[in-house]
């Protein structure tokens, strides 16, 4: 099997340069050049070499992606954290690079620490890339929060002391927010709910619950909340290890009777190592929230991280990353997902909160969607597009044979209605009681102020969008959950009640809306006729 080798963006050899006393002067302005990625390259060091500034890697991303639009032999960089040997990049001249500085928005550049020994949150893959839920989330947060960053992989023991001393600006590493840690570092808003779980050998009969750990030898990673819980609450004989996998290996070898760690990591280790004959006991024994730790002297970093995190949750991108790394329930079972609160609205055109997007993202689909692990738009309900040379007219082909959950056909007319009901304030499905906040922001307003001047059905499976001026992120905008396509029949039937518990939502996605009991639950059921193939299970989302 051909395996593509990924190159870690932030594997920067500054320590080596310091040891040998090399002083590198910023290069002088150079002409635009084509560069072929080699094994060991990363965008940060390429930007330092050719543009004199590591965070200017956004200029290489922007220039390369712009070139790709005209010449498909160039790469399209959807995730600057990962580039491939053999990719063709466009390194802009110093003058052209300056035009892309707006991609970094704030100009903020951070050093992010992590302990990449904790799958599925973070680990190092075969090609030395730092991968996992946390790295994917941080890339999305940086993009939405308007900053650049580079990774430093470090040991867990002492990571918060190193952060407080200024070795990093922030740490994302499945770190639980605790009062003790908050004395030396600041924390972002929570981004994951977790709890401590117990792993035992498959033939274990004496340990079933936490009370059974008293007097037993239990392995745990040093300095974690699992270590604190075992020490303070269980009466166990605690054996501490540098890494969770060492505790698990000790369990398999019979050196300890159980191992304790965060529940998602415990589940992943049991699943990934069937040869060890281990099992995960049901239940969790603490209530914990993960947060991104930030140096107390960097309030600017904390503000940018919280801004990006909020945007990632609101856009539905968080759910895409979560699903990538933690998956869904097995076939024939109901997946019950506990949430922090109830949804506000299920009409994607007016949704602005993450709890609502959790549901609409399963029921409705936009024309495009973001590629797994990246931000590149790829077809969803669309199958392709063609733009005129001036990028003002975009002709989009639609997927054939797709039906809404109410049995009505998905077609070009449905797309036109969904666009016009947001864009035109005199449209019969544009209601004064609803606020189309994202449309106004993404397309510069409504009616004559809008960057879109027309949306027309060329034929049943073709839509043409005409712009007043070029809009570079058009396809990326259309991939957002806000622009998912609702059934026109449902919109007309429920009117202003569409998206409420009365009207629900009707789309084309892998799950169908069933019911919404306010402040209790929302139920969706598998769409067995889904054009992409039926998904595994139905689900119930707790409020």
Q: Which residues of the chain have pLDDT under 50?
A: 1-29, 102-105, 328-333, 534-543
Beta pairing class for 147-153 and 237-241: unpaired
Element (H, E) at 278: strand 278-280
Correct CATH for 108-192+290-321 of 3.40.190.10, 3.30.70.260, 1.10.3720.10, 3.40.1110.10: 3.40.190.10
Question: How many C-beta atoms surround the C-beta of residue 268 within 10 A?
Answer: 22
Q: 391 — alpha (psi -120 to 50), left (phi > 0) or beta? A: left
Amino acid 373: pLDDT: 67
Q: What is the DSSP letter of 179?
A: H
Same topology, domains 7-104 and 108-192+290-321? Answer is no
Question: Where are the domains positioned within the chain?
Answer: 7-104, 108-192+290-321, 196-286, 334-365+491-542, 371-478
398 touches 415 (CB < 8 A): yes
Q: Rounded distance, CA 411 to CA 466, Å?
A: 18
Amino acid 30: pLDDT: 64
Helix axes of 299-315 and 133-145: crossing angle, nearest 10 degrees: 100
pTM: 0.44
Amino acid 15: pLDDT: 29
Domain 196-286 falls under CATH 1.20.120.1200: no
Q: Rounded distance, CA 175 to CA 367, Å?
A: 36
Amino acid 16: pLDDT: 29
Superfamily grouping for domain 334-365+491-542: Periplasmic binding protein-like II (3.40.190.10)
Joined tokens for residue 498? 């569409």
Amino acid 465: pLDDT: 96
Q: What is the CATH number of domain 371-478?
A: 3.90.76.10
Domain 7-104 falls under CATH 3.20.20.70: no
């Amino acid at each position: 099997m051909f395996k593509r080798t990924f190159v870690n963006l932030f594997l920067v050899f500054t320590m080596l340069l310091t040891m040998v006393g090399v002083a590198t002067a910023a290069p002088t302005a150079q002409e635009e050049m084509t560069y072929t990625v080699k094994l060991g390259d990363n965008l940060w060091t390429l930007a330092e070499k050719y543009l004199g500034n590591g965070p200017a890697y956004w200029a290489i991303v922007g220039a390369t992606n712009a070139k790709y639009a005209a010449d498909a032999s160039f790469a399209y960089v959807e995730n600057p954290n990962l580039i491939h040997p053999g990719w063709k990049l466009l390194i802009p001249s110093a003058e052209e690079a300056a035009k892309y500085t707006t991609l970094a928005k704030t100009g903020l550049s951070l050093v992010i620490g992590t302990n990449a020994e904790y799958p599925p949150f973070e680990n190092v893959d075969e090609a030395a890339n730092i991968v996992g839920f946390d790295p994917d989330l941080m890339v999305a947060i940086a993009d939405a929060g308007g900053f650049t960053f580079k990774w430093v992989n470090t040991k867990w023991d002492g990571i918060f002391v190193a952060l407080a001393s200024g070795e990093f600006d922030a740490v994302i590493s499945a770190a639980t927010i605790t009062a003790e840690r908050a004395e030396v570092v600041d924390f972002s808003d929570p981004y994951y709910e977790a709890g401590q779980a117990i792993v035992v050998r498959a033939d274990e009969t004496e340990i079933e619950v936490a009370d059974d750990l008293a007097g037993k030898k239990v392995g745990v990673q040093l300095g974690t909340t699992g270590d604190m819980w075992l020490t303070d609450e269980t009466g166990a004989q605690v054996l501490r290890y540098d890494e969770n996998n060492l505790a698990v290996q000790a369990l398999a070898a019979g050196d300890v009777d159980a191992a304790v760690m965060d529940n998602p990591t415990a589940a992943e280790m049991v699943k990934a190592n069937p040869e060890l004959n281990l099992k995960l006991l049901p239940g969790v024994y603490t209530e914990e929230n993960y947060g991104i730790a930030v140096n107390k002297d960097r309030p600017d970093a904390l503000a940018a991280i919280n801004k990006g995190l909020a945007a990632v949750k609101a856009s539905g991108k968080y759910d895409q990353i979560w699903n990538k790394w933690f998956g869904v329930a097995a076939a024939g079972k109901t997946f019950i997902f506990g949430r922090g609160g109830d949804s506000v609205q299920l009409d994607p055109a007016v949704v602005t909160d993450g709890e609502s997007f959790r549901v609409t993202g399963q029921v409705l689909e936009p024309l495009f969607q973001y590629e797994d692990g990246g931000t590149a738009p790829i077809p969803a309900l669309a199958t392709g597009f063609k733009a005129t040379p001036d990028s003002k007219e975009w002709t989009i082909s639609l997927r054939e044979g797709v039906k809404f959950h109410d049995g009505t056909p998905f077609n070009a007319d449905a797309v036109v209605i969904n666009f016009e009901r947001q864009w035109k304030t005199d449209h019969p499905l544009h209601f004064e009681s609803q606020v189309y906040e994202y449309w106004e922001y993404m397309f510069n307003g409504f009616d004559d102020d809008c960057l879109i001047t027309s949306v027309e059905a060329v034929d049943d499976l073709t839509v043409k969008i005409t712009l007043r001026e070029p809009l570079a992120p058009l396809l990326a905008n259309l991939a957002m959950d806000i622009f998912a396509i609702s059934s026109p029949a449902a919109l007309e039937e429920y009117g202003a009640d569409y998206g409420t518990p009365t009207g629900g939502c009707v789309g084309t996605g892998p799950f169908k809306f069933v019911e919404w009991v306010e402040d209790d639950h929302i139920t969706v059921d598998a769409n067995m006729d889904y054009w992409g193939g039926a998904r595994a299970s139905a689900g119930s989302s707790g409020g």
